[in-house]
Chain A
Amino acid sequence: MDMSQYLEVFIDESREHLQTINEQLLELEKNPDDVSIVNEIFRSAHTLKGMSATMGFEDLANLTHQMENVLDAIRNGKIAVTPELLDVIFRAVDDLEAMVASISEGGDGKRDVTNVVAQLKQIEKGEAVAAPQKPAPTHEQTYDEFEYTILKQSAEQGFHSYEVTVKLRSDCLLKAARVFMIFEVIEQIGEVIKSVPTVEMLEAEQFDDQFVVTVVTKVLEDELQKRIMKVSEVEQVIIQRVNLHRSTEEEKTTETKHEQKEEQQAVEQAVEKKQEGQEEKATGKQVSNKTIRVNIERLDVLMNLFEELVIDRGRLEQISRELNNPELHETVERMSRISGDLQNIILNMRMVPVETVFNRFPRMVRQLARDLGKKINLEIIGAETELDRTVIDEIGDPLVHLLRNAIDHGIETPDVRRAKGKQEEGTVKLKAYHSGNHVFIEIEDDGAGISREKVLKKAISKGIISEQNAANLTDKQVYELIFASGFSTADKVSDISGRGVGLDVVKSTIESLGGSVSIDSEEGVGSIFSIQLPLTLSIISVMLVEIQKEKYAIPLSSIIETAIVKKEDILHAHNQKVIDFRGKVVPLLFLKDIFEVPVVKEDDDFLSVVIVRKGEKMAGLVVDAFIGQQEVVLKSLGNYLTSVFAISGATILGDGQVALIIDCNALIK
């Protein structure tokens, strides 16, 4: 599958997480005893691990996993936070950053991390950290601004920058000659940007047996090394990529000689010439910078302003019709068309089908199934359901956690399933749909379900609840326990669903979006995790109705159909007016009474009824007239009017007036 469409998101998010980790690590250094900071770092690292594993960047995932182990140990008080320990973690983060940077530059994100990983493992085992080992006897070079610019430009033009440490044999007689030969070799394939010691000193043999040159070239490390090794009396060549990011911070330079600068200018020209001649090797294109992240509040403002414009457009259209001036007419029409396009763009900017999140799951599920030796069929339903951008951005991680959870803990292995008389292949259903003023995302598996006893035992042993309380809990309440922080039902810690960080993160993320998550489960049959999310700013289809002089909107998703009912067809049952609707008894709700609408019109002999449903239950909402169907932007009533009965929000109609949206779920009990 083509992952490139998620790459940008991945890079953006990874950077954010790394940023968080960095900040929190610094905090941790100040307050080494604060476990909440460790938790924060842990979560970021955990998410990063999951994301990079999904995207197939194994080195990134490995290193994060190792880091996570250490953090876990810190969290559990097994290891104390020491500056040495933080040094190692910071180095690991540096490596992670370098990998992400490499990915964003079109690279493969691979990097030799064995050193850091070994150190992390050592820490995990509780051993003292050894002094940071230098990976090789190389010096981290420093560059002045001018040199740095050249390196950066070269990198942009697809050149690699290396720091080449050349060690000559100690019995080498004509060191200057060897240096000259080496320089010549390098200049055949690239350019020397800098050397330490300086060229003059090298030519005067004023160095021991080792020197470092910075080279800009198109060839890869291996080839460069081979070529230099061909020069006789060279004992060792160590090649390291230049870390451009670090160089910026270090502005102090050892030498900034005038002639050297001139030399570099010449180099730059040469580099340019070479580029013309040489066809580009595939170095990958820059993938970042194609998206910009815009604060969602700005989009809100844009949207609101645009709605104002739409209202004025309506007025203008009316005026132009009245004046009947062809030129005005034409202009207004043109403006209408343009603003129509504009409207679509603005709306689309915020609304994204959940597909963009769901798409990455099939691959992940396949991978997981393979890793775990399970057979899993992932069914995705309702991928076209649109969600607000803010929600989409946040919902990915919780869904990953829940899916991993369902696959790891839910679905049994094929032989267990066979023994239970189930199909070998487990099914995980991922379903998204609109209902009323909410979007639901359900993750359903036909696996083992949740064991009440197991959960309770665990919760008691972890001190989450007391034994006395445990007996009184309903099944639902018991299931809720698995969302508690520090809870994990898996007997062994696996790489897949982590250590119970997942589920409490899931819960808090969803709640921060104003949603909720619930679990339904039957042991042996399966579980359903149901996420309910509000439509913060979502476009919904509504039926506009009139009740006396007031206009209300009923979400189309709740409506079954509309009907005109004769007054004499109303029946009475238990003091409740009902109608017989297609063989079913449907209670009538008179909205004008429920909403205390001021009465200005006489009753009709015919009633307009909107039949709505909530699950299996139905009700007939009696209104005065149907206006029609319309797409509207759902808006909240603000923070002052919270929880108005049976009103889920409001919308602004074409004439600029506010219409309230009826919450059918609250009307049907």
Chain B
Amino acid sequence: MAELKVIVFQLKDEEYAIPVQQVRSIEKIQHITRVPRVPKYVKGVINLRGVVTPIIDLRMRFGLEEAEFSDHTRVIIVALDDVEVGLIVDAANDVVDIETEAIEPPPEVVDATTAEYINGVVKIEKRLFILLNLEKVLEKEKG
């Protein structure tokens, strides 16, 4: 049975999951330099060990309300092809193994804005993980 190792993170009240292969590192929040004239959800850039890395606020990307940064706030550095960005999440909770067979398509009820960023959901015991579609998250808005 195929297993998938995922990093679990918190965003508002939900738990999201992202395959470990796509994750480079998890960082604490640090000084972000604002970049002018970019989409609102792009918070700016940080110095990640000498590499200037753009940071996306995932809450704003999903159209959720902004939240103050806390001690739990983390930046998950993800990589897709040659693009490397950081995602601001409320907390990075866990690493879990999920079985690929257990992945279900996203439920219809999830509201439209978030639905397109989701690959599916997994229920393990009493927790529900939403699998993030990184391609969609990193897709730039047209125009």
Contacts and interface: CB of A to CB of B under 8 A. Distances in A.
Interface of A: 303-308, 550, 594-598, 635-641, 644-647, 650, 652, 656-660
Given A638-B83, A638-B84, A652 B50 contact: yes
B50 A303 contact: yes
Closest 9 CB pairs of A and B: A304-B50, A595-B36, A658-B33, A307-B50, A650-B52, A639-B83, A640-B54, A645-B37, A635-B52
A348 to B, nearest CB: 18
Given A639-B84, A641-B38, A652 B54 contact: no
9 contacts: A304-B49, A305-B49, A637-B45, A640-B84, A645-B36, A650-B33, A652-B50, A656-B31, A658-B31
Contacts of B31: 656-658
B34 A550 contact: yes
Contact of B33 (A594, A638, A657): A657
A640 B138 contact: yes
A596 B85 contact: no
Given A652-B52, A658-B52, A640 B47 contact: no
B46 interface: yes
Given A596-B36, A658-B46, 10 more contacts: A304-B49, A304-B51, A306-B50, A594-B36, A638-B83, A639-B84, A644-B37, A656-B31, A657-B47, A660-B35
Given A638-B84, A640-B84, A641-B42, A647 B35 contact: yes
Interface in B34-87: 34-38, 42, 44-47, 49-54, 82-85
Interface centre among B31, B33, B35, B50 (most CB of A within 10 A): B50
B131 to A, nearest CB: 21
Interface of B: 31, 33-38, 42, 44-47, 49-54, 82-85, 138
B58 to A, nearest CB: 14
A595 B53 contact: no
B109 to A, nearest CB: 31
B107 to A, nearest CB: 30
A644 B53 contact: no
A662 B46 CA distance: 17
B48 to A, nearest CB: 9
Contact of B85 (A303, A638, A646, A659): A638
Contacts of B50: 303-308, 652
A597 B49 CA distance: 26
A358 to B, nearest CB: 31
Contacts of B47: 652, 656-658
B64 to A, nearest CB: 21
Nearest to A301: B50
B80 to A, nearest CB: 9
Contact of A641 (B45, B46, B51, B82): B45
Contacts of A594: 36
Among A308, A640, A650, A652, residue most surrounded by chain B Cβ atoms (within 10 Å): A640
A326 B65 CA distance: 52
B27 to A, nearest CB: 13
A658 B86 CA distance: 15
Contact of B52 (A305, A597, A636): A636
Contacts of B42: 641
Contact of B36 (A635, A636, A644, A658): A644
Contacts of B45: 637-638, 641, 650, 658, 660
B49 to A, nearest CB: 5
Contact of A637 (B52, B82, B138): B52
B34 to A, nearest CB: 6
Contacts of A307: 49-50
B49 A308 contact: yes
Nearest to B30: A656
A335 B85 CA distance: 33
Nearest to A591: B36
A350 to B, nearest CB: 14
A132 to B, nearest CB: 48
Nearest to B39: A641
B141 to A, nearest CB: 13
A368 B84 CA distance: 49
Contacts of A644: 35-38
Contacts of B44: 658
B49 A638 contact: no
A647 B45 CA distance: 13
B115 to A, nearest CB: 23
A594 B45 CA distance: 19
B118 to A, nearest CB: 21
Nearest to B46: A658
Contacts of B37: 595-596, 644-646
A639 B84 CA distance: 7
Given A639-B84, A656-B47, A658-B47, A647 B36 contact: yes
A638 B82 CA distance: 9
Contacts of B49: 304-305, 307-308
A597 B44 CA distance: 13
B82 A639 contact: yes
Contacts of B84: 638-640
A636 B53 CA distance: 9
B36 A638 contact: no
A322 B37 CA distance: 41
B142 to A, nearest CB: 14
A639 B31 CA distance: 21
Contacts of A635: 51-52
A152 to B, nearest CB: 44
A388 B31 CA distance: 29
A639 B42 CA distance: 14
B52 A640 contact: no
Contacts of B33: 550, 650, 657-660
A565 B53 CA distance: 37
Contacts of A303: 50
B32 to A, nearest CB: 8
A637 B36 CA distance: 13
Nearest to A592: B36
A639 to B, nearest CB: 5
A567 B27 CA distance: 45
A305 B47 CA distance: 12
Nearest to B85: A640
A646 B51 CA distance: 20
A660 B38 CA distance: 13
Nearest to A308: B49
Pick the most buried of B42, B45, B46, B83: most chain A CB atoms within 10 A of its CB.
B45
A314 to B, nearest CB: 13
Contacts of B36: 594-597, 644-647, 660
B53 A638 contact: yes
A371 to B, nearest CB: 46
A638 B52 contact: yes
Contacts of A308: 49-50
A308 B45 CA distance: 16
B83 A637 contact: no
Nearest to A653: B47
Contacts of A659: 33
